[in-house]
Amino acid sequence: MTNRFLVPTVFLVTVSVLVLPVAAEEAAIAVHSFEESTLPTGVEVVAASARLTHDGGVTDGRQALAVTLPIDTGWSGIRITPDEPWDVSELGDCRFSFDAASTGPTSINLQCVVTSANGGSVRRMTAVPVGKTKTYYYPLSGPDIGEGSGLRDDPPSLDGVGTKLVTNNPRYKVDYSRIKSIEFYVQDTADEDTLVIDNLRFVSNPPINEDYLTNLVDQFGQNAKCDFEQKVHSEEELKRIAKEELAELASEGPMPDRSRFGGWKSGPRFEATGYFRPQKLGDRWALVDPEGYLYFATGIANARMANTSTFTGVDFKDESVRYRDPEEVTPEDSLGIVPSSDEARRTSYIAYDYRRRLFEWLPVYSDPLAKYYGYRRSAHIGPTPHGEVFSFYLANLERRYGLPESGDIQETWRAITTDRMLNWGFTCLGNWADAAFYEEHRIPFFANGWIIGDFKTLSGGYWGAMPDVFDPEFKRRAEVTTKVVADEVKDSPWCVGVFIDNEKAWGNTESTRKRYGIVLHALTLGAADSPAKAAFVETLKRKYTTIEEFNEAWNKQFNSWGEFASGYEWEDGDEGSKLLADLSLLSEQYAEQYFRIVHNALQSELPNHQYLGCRLTPWGGTPEVWKAASKFCDVMSFNFYHEAIGERNWKFLPMIDRPTIIGEWHIGSTDSGLPNPGLIHAVDQNDRAEMYKKYMRSVVENPYLVGAHWFQYIDSPLTGRAHDGENYNVGFVNVADVPYKPMVEAAKLINRGLYPDAYGKAVSKFPPSQPD
């Protein structure tokens, strides 16, 4: 629905106005105030409807633009394109500002992209509350833009100019002196909402707050520059909060109507195999626990210390701290706190002053809390390539609970974490749980492993290159990894299943090149150097008996198979039906080889446990991959960061007809002291809890879904996790280990009705379980 000017149903919501005026000394260039009698030229409405409004949300003149955004429609919003690019160079350092409100019924997870005349752009986001017009701004230029601090996004550097739109992209500069378009949109929204926007303008910036990144972090790892509801001000307060929570957990105990393994105690009982397994109930997929009770895997992922540390700005001259064993199977970001030796610490120096200035306090090496320093040999992205790290979370655990007799605070933490999970109604720990949980036999867990090593690679994506799965070294490393996983799991019936790898760059269906990028890259290589290319050539030779037959199908003029084997460059637009069919064939062959190797390696080591795939994504999945994975995975897995499950993205599920689990999702806000909410934004903790309930209800209602894992248990560090700078409010607990009460209550509400809501209708014909 493009260029539609419709009058939608409008929710009547009283809108209050909090608009920050442009200071007299700030120059501005107007974009739109929507005072025309019709929709302005250059405003394109995509998969939405729009009208000019005189009602709430007007801040400049007598009208604003109201855009109604339908449910589950993908990209939905408006694109504003001038006849000639806006030239904002005369403004100097500047921002794009606008006023906005949601007129109901829910907050809007608004995304905004400003594209420069040379095509550069950054996606930024914010949560627009219901009934309150505010000024928002999108930073365009300034001394702070593009300067790496190691945070996924910084706190605002401008004071008093509105709410900053947040980015989750790695930091880089775009030349915004000339701007060709502005986009406002949502993606797969869970509710039909109406966004009212007005007074769009480019505005010159005041001077930045030079100290916005100085002494940002207090002694507890919290934001020292603002106050918020759950902020801890002293160790005494921290201990008091802990004492109250522990008493509540002891009084309430685990959620009732659960089997030993978290299954539906009062529901019907099925064949018990001693391990978790899938079960189809008519048209509804389910899991069955080791004792035969129906099971739904609702849990929290990343209950571990590996991602609680942040770079301190210190590094060591001692090169031994950066040694890496080529036979390692654990990526750097999955390692716990790896301490440095006293010898290495004696070579310490401040290598990254921009990091050191972030902290009000860090312990000296003689401090008892200095045991929570560690070292990271590398980072995925960010300006700090390696260096010392510190975990404020671990330090706060010791302050909060005191050390046990063993001297290991994580022993206390695991016990309390499990008590919380059972009390909050969760039935498992999701992916990346600390392996020490595996032997406690109190709550089911999901094991995981990574296939890393010195095998050949092909084209990749954000997380790195894809493996050449035909390289024998890939198979060997898969077997090494699964042996390590098996040693950790020890054939435990508490293990629901195993994920191997995560969010791999399989491609997507946006274009032929993106869909078949791995294959197209392999085809450019020589078969003598690329096992994948050699395998693809053999497949095509089996299909086409002669090179002439192949040439006719692909409309090419190769003189021999050897010429094709030496390298072939596909050109955009070359999309003959037989060529595309063969690219699909080779893509499925590649994916099948990957999933077959991993499945067989796991089957050899853990024959009683479910293989759960590699947690696919909407941006990394194709029909060929889904089909291949469904042949080898007992349960399919997808990470899905949206407001709700919806239907648009899941039309392939009936085709593969496999039980499916959501491996990651989250929602965050900025009222926690963290400047970045994460991938999906809420207005505050209460709004976050409401969005949690909505997402989980959409999971429970889907007949193919058998679980969902929230990512993650603990908030990211304020100054960014060492791996990639994520500084998100995505935890159920904050850096001081204080639970977010609205989230806990939301989880309890959903989990109390979990089994009747998920399986009640499907099992109505089965008799209930009899008491043991």
Q: What is the pLDDT of residues 303-341, one digit of tens each?
A: 999 999 999 999 999 999 999 898 888 888 888 899 999
User: 754: domain range?
Assistant: 415-508+589-759
Looking at per-residue pLDDT, the higher value among 481 and 772 belongs to 481
Residue 156 inside a domain? The answer is: yes
- On average, the pLDDT of the chain sits at 93
In sequence order, which residues have a C-beta less than 8 Å from that of residue 304 and are 6 or more positions away?
336, 432, 433, 434
Q: Decide which of 349, 374, 390 is a domain's last residue.
A: 390
- In our burial notation (b when 16+ CB lie closer than 10 A, e otherwise), range 332-355 reads bbbbbbeebeeebbeebeebbeeb
Q: CA nearest 564: which of 586, 548, 580?
A: 548
In a domain, 766, yes or no: no
Is there a domain that residue 57 lies in?
A: yes
End-of-domain residue from the set 347, 375, 390: 390
Question: What is the pLDDT averaged over residues 7-22?
Answer: 41
Same domain? For 603 and 571 the reply is no
In a shared domain, residues 608 and 569: no
Report the length, in residues, of the chain: 772
pLDDT at 290 > cutoff 60: yes
Distance between CA atoms of residues 270 and 279, nearest Å: 9
CATH number of the domain to which 104 belongs: 2.60.120.430
- Confidence at residue 170, expressed as pLDDT on a 0 to 100 scale: 58
Rounded to an integer, the average pLDDT of 384-403 is 97
pLDDT digits (tens, 9 = 90+) for 578-627: 999 999 999 999 999 999 999 999 999 999 999 999 999 988 899 999 99
- pLDDT value, residue 771: 57
How many domains, in total, are found in the chain?
4
**CATH code assigned at 740:** 3.20.20.80
pLDDT in tens, 728-738: 999 999 999 99
| 190 and 79 share one domain | yes
- Whether 770 is covered by a domain: the verdict is no
User: What are residue 108's DSSP bridge partners?
Assistant: 128
**C-beta of residue 550 within 8 angstroms of C-beta of residue 562:** no
Quick: pLDDT tens for 516-533: 999 999 999 999 999 999
Q: Which of 534, 569, 584 is the last residue of a domain?
A: 584
pLDDT of residue 171: 62
Question: Which are the contacts of 769, defined by CB distance < 8 A and separation ≥ 6?
Answer: 265, 266, 267, 268, 269, 293
**Which tokens hold the place of 93?**
């350092």
Residue 144: per-residue pLDDT: 85
671 contacts 228 by C-beta, under 8 angstroms: yes
Residue 371 in this model has a pLDDT that exceeds 80: yes
Is residue 6 pLDDT above 50, yes or no? no
- The mean-pLDDT minimum among 3-7, 29-33, 265-269, 356-360 falls in 3-7
Element (H, E) at 243: helix 235-252
Sorting pLDDT into bands at 50, 70 and 90, what band is 765?
confident
Query: In this structure, are 375 and 499 located in the same domain?
Result: no
Cβ atoms within 10 Å, residue 522: 27
Query: How far apart, in whole angstroms, are the C-alpha atoms of residue 525 and residue 2?
Result: 42
Cα 286 to Cα 270, 300, 624, distances in angstroms = 11, 19, 25
Q: 516 and 504 in one domain?
A: no
> Lowest mean pLDDT: which of 65-79, 454-468, 642-656, 707-721?
454-468
pLDDT > 70? residue 769? no
Residue 171 domain-assigned (yes or no): yes
Torsion of CA 352, 358, 360, 363, to 10 degrees: -40
Same domain? For 431 and 369 the reply is no
Model confidence over 197-239: pLDDT tens digits?
Answer: 999 999 999 999 999 999 999 999 999 999 999 999 999 999 9
Tell me: do 558 and 461 sit in the same domain.
no
Considering the domain architecture, whether residues 494 and 622 belong to the same structural domain is answered as yes
Q: Is residue 262 part of a domain?
A: no
Proportion of the chain above pLDDT 70, given as a percent? 95
Residue 2 has pLDDT above 70, yes or no: no
Classify residue 225: in a domain, yes or no: no
Mean pLDDT, residues 377-402: 95
Residues 577, 706: one domain? Answer: no
Instruction: Note the pLDDT of residue 770.
Output: 61
Q: Same structural domain for residues 365 and 429?
A: no
Are residues 32 and 112 located together in one domain of the fold? yes
In 309-431, the DSSP E strands lie at: 310-311, 314-316, 348-350, 373-376, 387-390, 428-429
Band of residue 460 on the pLDDT scale cut at 50, 70, 90: confident
| CB 427 within 8 Å of CB 262 | yes
Residue 341: inside a domain, yes or no?
Answer: yes
* Together in a domain, 618 and 664: yes
Q: What is the pLDDT of residue 330?
A: 87
